Amino acid sequence: MRKASLAETPSTEPPPDAESPQARLLEAVSGLWASHGRGRMSARQTAALAGVTTSLINYHFGSFERLLEASFRDLAERTQAWWQSRLAELDGVGRLDADAGGFVLASLIDSLCTSERAVTFAWFECNAMATRDPAFLPVAGAWHGVWRDAWTAVAAHVLPPEAADLLYPFADGELCLHRIAWKPALDRACLFETCATWVRMVTEGKTGPMALRETLRKACENPAPVPWTDDSPEAAIALAAADIVGKSGIGGVTHRAVAAAAGLSLGVVSYHFPTAEGLVHAAFAAIYGQIIGADQRPAQPVPAEAYAAGVGRLVAHPDAQSNFLSLDEFTGAVARDPLLARFGGTLRYTRGRTLSRTLTGLPSPLAGALISSSTNGLIRQARFVAQADREAWAETLCLKLLRNVLKA
């Protein structure tokens, strides 16, 4: 794996001593990515956790945002070291069959969501923050290079060379969702089944029955209803809050901002949702409603070429990223917050239903879920492609995946 990626954002400071204020602050932030996320982090909270005064953040890092950037760089280096150890374990291993290759993929993803949980949550936070704030793009781009190089190296053991660039989008999509521990033992077993099936689908154009995934999908196919009617003030407030989540993150959801976005008075918003926490949960309920609503709308069949072209146009659209970011925020919140755990099964196991009804020629209905994971990962990767090239890049890669899937 290349070591040059992180050199693009070199640190000008020597590594801090383990007991220094800098190291304690970095350690505190590292833990907060998984437990809180950027939207629920503050300088005061971080300093208290590190056992230092808030003023030391500015003294050592310049600002709280630069502390967060330093944390990302630190965790990116940890990611690179972790991958170097994992890839060394694969030295001497040739091309694996679909089952063995899928098990390797699943084992890596599961480890990243357990033993390297802080790294994984931080990566998705960094990705989103770089989309909203260009100051984070250098470290996010370098970290993206670490992931890309690592999954490309893994692909040499599970895919033919011409299909190697298809692995990173799929792995990133599954990594994002596997943070959600809905029913952990079954989640882990289904991840192994999913990864093996994806390898088989890409290499052979067939999926097989996916019995466990089908069982879990059926268990989640009657989603909980959204707790308000479409024409109610609560719905207008929740939709406005959801839009803010996509554009600014959870931290941007305030009563005043939501009132302005919804065209309502501050009093009306406060009456229906007295607390900031209630507003954030309303935003997530609205995002959830949009997900299940899309699954329930009539779908028109489309060929692979039209679907790939649509994905290309979507990722290139200037306003599209806020919709993707709101879904990523929701996924991260469900993975962290026990009060949102009821949404976990729906997010993990019902995705791809619309795609299965629209994309013609799929080898099985559940193939839509596998393609959905790849598409979600592709959308995140597109953030690191130049705007002028983004549409063509996404369309080409998506069509390559579909042609592999549909070749049987």
- Cα–Cα distance, 287 to 238 (Å, whole number): 9
pLDDT for the residue 316: 85
- pLDDT tens-digit series, residues 345-389: 988 998 887 788 788 888 777 888 899 999 999 999 998 999 899
- Cα–Cα distance, 63 to 140 (Å, whole number): 18
What one-character-per-residue DSSP string does 329-369 give? HHHHHHHH-GGGGGGHHHHHHSTTHHHHHHBTT-SSTTHHH
- Cα–Cα distance, 114 to 128 (Å, whole number): 21
pLDDT for the residue 393: 96
Residue length of the chain: 408
Section 397-404 average pLDDT: 92
Could you tell me the CA-to-CA distances from 154 to 64, 205, 231, 308 in Å, in that order? 36, 20, 50, 25
Instruction: Give the amino acid at 395.
Output: E
- Cα–Cα distance, 347 to 289 (Å, whole number): 12
pLDDT for the residue 3: 41
Cross-strand pairs, 359: 302
Section 104-132 average pLDDT: 95
Q: Is the pLDDT of residue 4 over 50?
A: no
Q: Specify whether the CB–CB gap between 163 and 202 falls below 8 A.
A: yes
Residues 6+ apart with CB under 8 A from 36: 45, 336
The candidate with the shortest Cα–Cα distance to 258, out of 50, 1, 377, 245, is 245
- pLDDT tens-digit series, residues 56-78: 999 999 999 999 999 999 999 99
- pLDDT tens-digit series, residues 98-113: 999 999 999 999 999 9
What backbone torsions phi and psi does residue 225 show, to the nearest 5 degrees? -75, 155
Sign of CA dihedral 183, 189, 195, 197: negative
pLDDT for the residue 258: 94
What one-character-per-residue DSSP string does 53-113 give? -THHHHHHHSSHHHHHHHHHHHHHHHHHHHHHHHHHHTTT-----HHHHHHHHHHHHHHHH
Tell me the angle at which helices 21-35 and 64-89 cross, rounded to the nearest 10 degrees: 80
Instruction: Give the amino acid at 93.
Output: V
Q: Is the pLDDT of residue 408 over 50?
A: no
pTM of the model: 0.90
Q: Is the pLDDT of residue 10 over 50?
A: no
The candidate with the shortest Cα–Cα distance to 358, out of 287, 277, 294, 262, is 294
Q: Is the pLDDT of residue 259 over 60?
A: yes
